[in-house]
Structure 1
Amino acid sequence: MTREPGIERRREEVKVRRARVGRGLIWAATALLLVLALVQGLYRAEVIGFGFANWRPVLYAYLLWSAALCGGLVLIRGDRGHQALFVLPAVLFTVAVVIFPTFFGLFIAFSEWNLSSFGGRRFNGLDNFYAMMNDPYYWNAMGNMVFYVAFVFVQYAIAFGLALLLNAEIRARKFFRVAFLLPFMLSPVAVSWMIGKSIMEYRFGPAAQLARFLGWDSPAFFATPWIAKFSIMALDSWVSIPFIMILLLAGLQALPKEIQEAARIDGANGWQAFWKITFPLMLPVSITAIVLRTIFQLKLADIVINTTAGGPGGATDSITSFIYREYRDRSNVGYGTMMAEFYFIMIVIFLTVVLALVSRWMRRAT
């Protein structure tokens, strides 16, 4: 049975009108949200003299925009718009708790705002940025981060050796797998107190007593800058190596056994089989483990804060621990936020470049 052309034409006209209404609804709600956010931002920056007492109207406008976006997509796309409604809540939630705070942080970063003063927040332009560029302690912490991130490769090498060991046919293999995973189940805060503040305590700690027995007269693990850095990395490695190890162990168990057996038949020894077969086949897993561990390392703070508090003299500070002390000790919200936003941008650029280089290198290698 064929449909009349007039009915089809009317249906198409209804769809077009619905789509126009949907687009108009979305654009109107978007314009309202942008205008309110711009007015409130300019008012808070003391550029204009009118605005709202708080950001609550902007929040209400965002909720209205979210509802308008959902309704507009249904009007524009029909059934496909209903499908998009299942994804939109997650997207809108991400915008609310990730993207908006990031841009709001940029707004705070260009302000002089110290919680210990009575003046409140005041827009100061690029003063925080200039102060950060001339802050030797911040750039010292940035240099420390280069060392901490480079130490990930040491952790990777140790983890690869442990993964090879646990993948071999050894006695009590299941027990050792569970035992080596135990540090990963502990909080870095607990590890820093349990080991850094207790076992490595320079007067009565077991590690200090053992060091004296071996000939170290004053075993202060956190008093000398370089010893303190390596001590922090030892604690961090004890927590983090099991994470890399379990990823590499899963990759080793997924390798085809036939290739390794063929290498043995051809007369390859253990080192040749590892370097020519196992390691190349494990490159995708290895790169994934290193990249993930690098991301976690860029957030290093808890162990530094609990063991050295950045000392001696800021020598062991990570960027995150330095920003934390700027907030806690000096209550300098504006300057601390500027450092955090700049570090965030540096991380995004660094990881983007690293992932692009890794992807290009993997395409050439495979």
Structure 2
Amino acid sequence: MENVSSLAGGQYVVASEVVTPGRKNAGRWLIQLASLGLVAIVLVQILYETGTLSWGFENWRPVLYAFLVWAAALGAGQVIIRGEAGYRALFLLPALLFTILMVIFPTVFGLYIAFTDWNLSSFAGRRFNGLENLYALVNDSFFWNALGNMIFYVLAVFVQYAIGFGLALLLNADIRARKFFRVAFLLPFMLSPVAVSWMIGKSLMEYRFGPAATLARHLGWDSPAFFTTPWIARLSIVMMDSWVWIPFVMILLLAGLQALPKELLEAAKVDGATPWQSFWNITFPLMLPVSVTAIVIRIIFQLKLADIVINVTAGGPGGATDTVSSFIFREYRDRSNVGYGTMLAEFYLILIIIFVMLLLNMVSRWMRKV
């Protein structure tokens, strides 16, 4: 423990606990033995599940017990090795263990499932099949079609940003009923995308009796089917998705606009700058950090687009509106193919990680130049 000693003049000196080399070695041995035990139990269970070993555990519960023992040994080892500093490290340990248990372990376990042939409709159960799922993914034209659709959906984010910026500028201006319009424009964001898909996609845009289809007939469109032609179906999905998410972009940009120094805009107005010049030379550059944040967050959300597609078109017509998430969902639900569906999910996760890292790196470099 720390010792507090008093000196002349009322000063105090805190002396840290002295940890002997033997005690440090004991703590290290404790952590290493617990780690080796955890790795051994996990390895035995994996080999047993893949059929490499003829003996093992009936389920993964021993792995959970080994993880809990390892967590306790890790905390005790930190205290033994570092003394008082080890007690402070214990406050960070729950967050670390939670991340390992709820993020890292499911990802690694999913990676193991990805290399198995596991179909819930088959009585054969789960068996290791090597790289067969990966070969099937490479040759799956429907998956690559869904991935290509994601490019279109991600590019639509920039249109949503432009509309959201325009609405934010409007709501930041001194107009009548400004508070009412702020609440009204936020209403779509308060709805669930599932509710929006049924309220708009299945009701308003229904091709026989929907109000949107009826209006389209009066305007000269003979067969207003919004979800039978590929490009019209994609645009319809983008419109519903934009209706939900544009308020999110708008509220972020509105918060940024309200934080801008008004003195700069007033000075530009006094100097004779037009509204467009003030926007392009002052407002837009100052809003770049907020704009980049809004776009990046929105792209991350867009990469998970699935609910509207699943409920309205189920990926049709012919996969024209499919997203990767909706395609993976149908692989689980309709085909009960857990092994291949997990391979798709793990592969898509890797693509998202690489894409987001490159995007953030590119944005960081661009912002430094600007």
TM (norm. structure 1) is 0.95
Match of 1:326?
Answer: 331
Q: Give the distance between the partners of 1:353 and 1:104, measured in 2 at CA.
A: 26
Match of 2:93?
Answer: 88
Unaligned stretches of 5+ in structure 2? 1-5, 8-15
Aligned residues with identical type, % of pairs: 71
Q: Give the distance between the partners of 1:122 and 1:335, measured in 2 at CA.
A: 12
Match of 1:60?
Answer: 65
Q: Give the distance between the partners of 1:13 and 1:149, measured in 2 at CA.
A: 57
Q: Give the distance between the partners of 1:196 and 1:148, measured in 2 at CA.
A: 17
Match of 1:5?
Answer: none
Match of 2:245?
Answer: 240
After TM superposition, give the deviation of residue 54 of structure 1 in Å: 1.1
Q: Give the distance between the partners of 1:67 and 1:159, measured in 2 at CA.
A: 50
Match of 2:41?
Answer: 36
After TM superposition, give the deviation of residue 364 of structure 1 in Å: 1.1
Q: Give the distance between the partners of 1:139 and 1:118, measured in 2 at CA.
A: 30
Residues 111 and 169 (structure 1), Cα distance of their counterparts in 2 relative to 1, 3 Å cut: same
Q: Pick from 184, 203, 214: which aligns with 2:189?
A: 184
2:346 corresponds to 1:341: yes
Partner-residue secondary structure (3-state), 2:334 = helix
- Residue correspondence of structure 1 range 105-254 to structure 2 within 5 A: 105-254=110-259
- Residue correspondence of structure 1 range 345-356 to structure 2 within 5 A: 345-356=350-361
Q: Give the distance between the partners of 2:113 and 2:100, measured in 1 at CA.
A: 18
After TM superposition, give the deviation of residue 221 of structure 1 in Å: 0.8
Residue type at the aligned position of 2:356: L
Q: Give the distance between the partners of 1:78 and 1:206, measured in 2 at CA.
A: 72
Partner-residue secondary structure (3-state), 1:330 = coil
Deviations 1:311-362 (CA, angstroms, capped at 9, x unpaired): 0111110000000000000000000000100000000000000000100111
Unaligned stretches of 5+ in structure 1? 3-10
Q: Give the distance between the partners of 2:189 and 2:366, measured in 1 at CA.
A: 31
2:84 corresponds to 1:79: yes
Structure showing the higher helix proportion among its residues: 1
Partner-residue secondary structure (3-state), 1:170 = coil
Deviations 1:92-141 (CA, angstroms, capped at 9, x unpaired): 11111111000101100001110000000111111100101001100000
Q: Give the distance between the partners of 1:196 and 1:80, measured in 2 at CA.
A: 58
Q: Give the distance between the partners of 2:66 and 2:332, measured in 1 at CA.
A: 31
After TM superposition, give the deviation of residue 14 of structure 1 in Å: 4.8
2:368 corresponds to 1:363: yes
Q: Give the distance between the partners of 1:178 and 1:13, measured in 2 at CA.
A: 61
After TM superposition, give the deviation of residue 13 of structure 1 in Å: 6.7
Deviations 1:3-38 (CA, angstroms, capped at 9, x unpaired): xxxxxxxx9775433322221111111110011111
TM (norm. structure 2) is 0.94
Range moving further from structure 2, 49-58 or 119-128: 49-58
Residues 292 and 14 (structure 1), Cα distance of their counterparts in 2 relative to 1, 3 Å cut: closer
Residue type at the aligned position of 2:93: L
